[in-house]
Amino acid sequence: MYSVNVRDHFMIAHSFRGEAFGPAQRMHGATYVVDLEFRREALDADGMVVDIARATEVLHTVLAELNLRNLDEDPAFAGQNTTTEFLAKVIFDRIATRAAVGELGPHAQGLRSMRVRLNESHVAWAAYEGKL
Amino acid sequence: MYSVNVRDHFMIAHSFRGEAFGPAQRMHGATYVVDLEFRREALDADGMVVDIARATEVLHTVLAELNLRNLDEDPAFAGQNTTTEFLAKVIFDRIATRAAVGELGPHAQGLRSMRVRLNESHVAWAAYEGKL
Amino acid sequence: MYSVNVRDHFMIAHSFRGEAFGPAQRMHGATYVVDLEFRREALDADGMVVDIARATEVLHTVLAELNLRNLDEDPAFAGQNTTTEFLAKVIFDRIATRAAVGELGPHAQGLRSMRVRLNESHVAWAAYEGKL
Amino acid sequence: MYSVNVRDHFMIAHSFRGEAFGPAQRMHGATYVVDLEFRREALDADGMVVDIARATEVLHTVLAELNLRNLDEDPAFAGQNTTTEFLAKVIFDRIATRAAVGELGPHAQGLRSMRVRLNESHVAWAAYEGKL
Amino acid sequence: MYSVNVRDHFMIAHSFRGEAFGPAQRMHGATYVVDLEFRREALDADGMVVDIARATEVLHTVLAELNLRNLDEDPAFAGQNTTTEFLAKVIFDRIATRAAVGELGPHAQGLRSMRVRLNESHVAWAAYEGKL
Amino acid sequence: MYSVNVRDHFMIAHSFRGEAFGPAQRMHGATYVVDLEFRREALDADGMVVDIARATEVLHTVLAELNLRNLDEDPAFAGQNTTTEFLAKVIFDRIATRAAVGELGPHAQGLRSMRVRLNESHVAWAAYEGKL
């Protein structure tokens, strides 16, 4: 199995609801350094897992929808705690949708699975992985 | 599959027995930066893989049993080479035991698997992963 | 010249005023991984630059005043853009004040200078350094 | 499942053919920081996944065949784009061959799988993993 | 003294002349992850050391002149060994020139000094720093 | 001012004396990832700060004197707490001595200063710097 990973980041504000979150119920924020990993069984005709330039661009586009915003005001997340693991899945789904309509290029249909990891500090990260 | 990782560290002295270990048969030591990763299929009621505050606390408690000690004098490791990979399993088992008795909170029964990785330098690490 | 560094982090929300900040004028947030470095010419009676346990505790206390908050609502920063470099100076001053009243222990009067560095992503950081 | 990882690096020149590579069709180069990970179900008689000293030596030997060279002039890669993912597989195969003839020591037959990851910058890496 | 750092990277091929370089006399290459640090005594009117967006853009522009090329063919380096430390100075000078003509914005005249660090692997880096 | 840095590591056991050290008075250990930085005003005849191959070799030789040992049994440290900052100075002095007798090569007399940094975990490091 081959894999390729590209990295970018975004910075947001949000707050959580529920006693389990303690002081994180207050409005606060985070920098998320995002690792986007694609996996496939065999390389494409160009000897690549994915066109890295396109993957980098799609990742940047998806993160731009979230970057420098207050997620509490985003209707897409109404009634949701935007935990790191939840956001990993949101980004996974949005990239999967763009992959499905061809934004990663013609060879990307060979991709098997994908992993999105959000590094939120030097001591914590969360991820979501699934099939494509 | 979702995952969440928390990080902490511990510092110990030990020595190894067996020619395969060369100069590491002498009393020496290591800093282990520990990555503890939990995985589950679906998020819990709070939108989390695991209560990070509790996970951090349980990891710290388990590492405190080893931290700033000479492992050669710990009866738990009598007759054992406390290699990095062996210690990864020790920490895995101790955290699994605490998870089983509820120390990670009520939602933690949804956890599927766990991985413990010990980073021992900028060029070497070892890990153990298994089901919960 | 000797130096010692300890690391911790905090997560906040804020927004900036001024065209120069572009989309960062919106409410957003950041994780700041903080490096606190102390410098002195000669080691103290215990062979240390500073008591690391106390330094770690003082850093944690100072960051706790900011952690998990919306800095736009903190009266201490009224009318200020809480840029990364500005926050580095704020943390510098607060630690210097605590050092001056003895919170770093009796030997800490030998400290010459200090540096506070805030890492805000994998591609950007800011710092402030000065005499003590 | 246990795993152990060792790290080394190599620096090469190469160029790519095909429009998908854009300006990377020009002669350029890369530093690849290589992570070599071995996995097995149970530890060997010495409590190890693999003899780390031997693993480090085999990795260094394999990388030395590529290090400080222009890959475009290496007959082994004639007609191939030496992408990062392609090189990960090349290194995987060369280490697997050496493992098969005993260069990793007598206990290495217990190894189940292996992963070779090439970190090419702070924002990109590729890997190949497979059974042994 | 305040400082701000931004990071980018470039990938090149080159070779060295002189016995001191051993096998690095062959055509090879490198990824250089570049840290560009600006320093000044007081913050500007916006509470910044430098406009980070402009600094990032200027760094990218300067690195693009070198990126994905064979430095042995660049007339600017004729007769020169393009060692990491030499390249750090080249990038320093090119950014200083752009700063002098206002590309970093109107407040940038308050900048005191600058440092350019090229990280070439996980075990080596070189830098050049000087006044502006 | 130019600088060049090389990295290596060593792993030791030791214990401290004095109440200030708390549980670190017990026998324990550490991995120290060492950054050795050389600085000079102008490059040498080969366009280098220092011959990196020689610098790497001298660093390795000096660390080998300490590596995989119990520092409490080393006569050189009798009556001394081998704190991280103290060890940084020990390594500085030993490398300076080797530089003075020519082990870094003929051009190394142009070196101005040196810095030795010992990274002991993901949250702490200490350093010593001085003239050559």
Q: For chain D, what is the mean pLDDT?
A: 97
Q: What distance, in Å, lies between the first and last C-alpha atoms of chain F?
A: 15
Residues of E in contact with C130 (CB under 8 A): 1
Residue F70 pLDDT: 98
Asked whether residue E45 carries a pLDDT value surpassing 90, the answer given is: no
- Is C47–F125 a contact, with Cβ atoms under 8 angstroms apart? no
* Interface touch D122/A7, C-beta < 8 Å: yes
Are A29 and C26 an interchain contact pair (Cβ–Cβ within 8 Å)?
Answer: no
> Which residue positions in chain F have pLDDT lower than 70?
none
- Amino acid of residue E17: R
ipTM of the complex: 0.95
Contact at 8 Å (CB) between D91 and D63? Answer: yes
- Which is nearest to D40 in space by CA: D118, D104, D127, D117? D104
Interchain contact A125–F (C-beta under 8 A): no
Tell me the average pLDDT across C70-98.
Answer: 97
% of residues, chain A, pLDDT over 90: 94
CB contact under 8 A, D52 and B124: yes
Note whether A86 contacts B8, CB cutoff 8 Å.
no
Q: Please write the tens of the pLDDT for every residue from C88-105.
A: 999 999 999 999 999 999
Q: How far is the alpha carbon of B4 from chain A, nearest alpha carbon, in Å?
A: 4
Residue of A nearest to F122 (CA): A122
Tokens of E127: 């830098």
- Given an 8 Å threshold on Cβ–Cβ distance, is C123 in contact with E6? yes
In this predicted structure, what is the pLDDT of residue F106? 85
Chain B residue whose CA is closest to D36: B124
Query: How far is the C-alpha of C62 from the C-alpha of C91, rounded, in Å?
Result: 7
Residues of chain C contacting F122 with CB distance shorter than 8 Å: 7
**Mean of pLDDT values over C60-70:** 98
What percent of chain D clears pLDDT 70, i.e. is strictly above it? 100
Sign of the C-alpha dihedral computed for residues A83, A84, A88 and A90 taken in this order: positive
Q: Is the pLDDT of residue A109 over 90?
A: no
Which partners does chain A have (≥3 C-beta pairs < 8 Å)?
A: B, C, D, F
What residue of F is the nearest CA neighbor of C2? F128
Are residues F9 and B121, on separate chains, in Cβ contact within 8 Å?
Answer: yes
Report the relative pairing of strands A2-14 and D2-14 from DSSP bridges. Answer: unpaired
- Helix, strand, coil shares of chain A, percent, nearest 5, are 35, 35, 30
For residue E104, what are its two tokens? 């970093």
* Per-residue pLDDT tens over the stretch E47-65: 999 999 999 999 999 999 9
pLDDT (tens digit, 9 = 90+) per residue, E89-125?
Answer: 999 999 999 999 999 998 888 999 999 999 999 999 9
Residues facing C124 on adjacent strands:
C121, E6
Of the candidates C9, C27, C68, which has its C-beta nearest A121's C-beta? Answer: C9
The answer to whether the CB atoms of B31 and F26 lie below 8 A apart is no
- B52-111: pLDDT as tens digits: 999 999 999 999 999 999 999 999 999 999 999 999 999 999 999 999 999 999 888 899
Q: Say yes or no to pLDDT of B20 above 90.
A: no
Touching status, chains E and A (3+ beta-carbon pairs under 8 Å): no
Mutate to test the interface with B, among A83, A87, A114 (most CBs of B within 10 A): A83
Contact C26 A70 (CB under 8 A): yes
B45-to-A72, A78, A81, A117, B51 alpha-carbon distances in Å: 19, 16, 10, 21, 11
B69–F11 C-beta distance less than 8 A: no
Smallest CA–CA separation between A121 and chain F, in Å? 12
pLDDT band at residue A33 under the 50/70/90 scheme:
very high
- For residues E44 and E106, what is the distance between their CA atoms, to the nearest angstrom? 10
Chain E: closest CA distance from residue F56 (Å):
10
Q: Which fold has domain B2-131?
A: Tetrahydropterin Synthase; Chain A (3.30.479)
Report the gap between the CA of B127 and the closest CA in chain D (Å).
5
Does C122 lie at the interface with D, CB-CB under 8 angstroms?
A: yes
| Distance to chain E for B112, nearest Cα, Å | 34
Residue A100, pLDDT score: 96
Give the start-end residues of each E strand in chain E: 2-14, 28-40, 69-70, 113-121, 124-131
Distance from CA of A84 to the nearest CA of F (A): 22
Report residue D80's pLDDT band, with 50, 70 and 90 as the boundaries.
Answer: very high
Q: Is A101 on the interface with C (CB under 8 A)?
A: no
List Cβ neighbours of C122 (8 Å cut-off, separation of 6 or more): A7, A9, A33, D122, D123, E7
* pLDDT tens per residue, range A43-99: 998 899 999 999 999 999 999 999 999 999 999 999 999 999 999 999 999 999 999
> Which residue, chain included where needed, has tokens 């002195």?
C40
- At residue D45, the pLDDT reads 86
**What pLDDT is stored for residue C66 in this prediction?**
98
Number of inter-chain CB pairs under 8 A, A vs F: 3
Please report which confidence band the pLDDT of residue B38 belongs to, taking 50, 70 and 90 as the band edges.
Answer: very high
Q: Span D98-109, mean pLDDT?
A: 93
Subunit partners of chain D (3 or more CB pairs within 8 A): A, B, C, E
Structure confidence at residue F107 (pLDDT): 83
User: Does D125 contact C at CB distance below 8 Å?
Assistant: no
C 37-96 near F (Cβ less than 8 A): 43, 46-49, 51-53
Confidence category of residue A107, pLDDT binned at 50, 70, 90: confident
Cross-chain Cβ contact B3/A85 below 8 Å: yes
Distance CA E34, CA E30 (A): 12
D69 and E27 in contact by Cβ < 8 A?
A: yes
Q: Do B29 and F82 meet the contact criterion of CB atoms below 8 Å apart?
A: no
Chain B nearest-CA distance from F120, in A, is 7
- D79's CB contacts (< 8 A; 6+ apart) are none
In whole angstroms, what is the distance from residue F101 CA to residue F108 CA?
Answer: 10
Q: Is A7 on the interface with C (CB under 8 A)?
A: yes
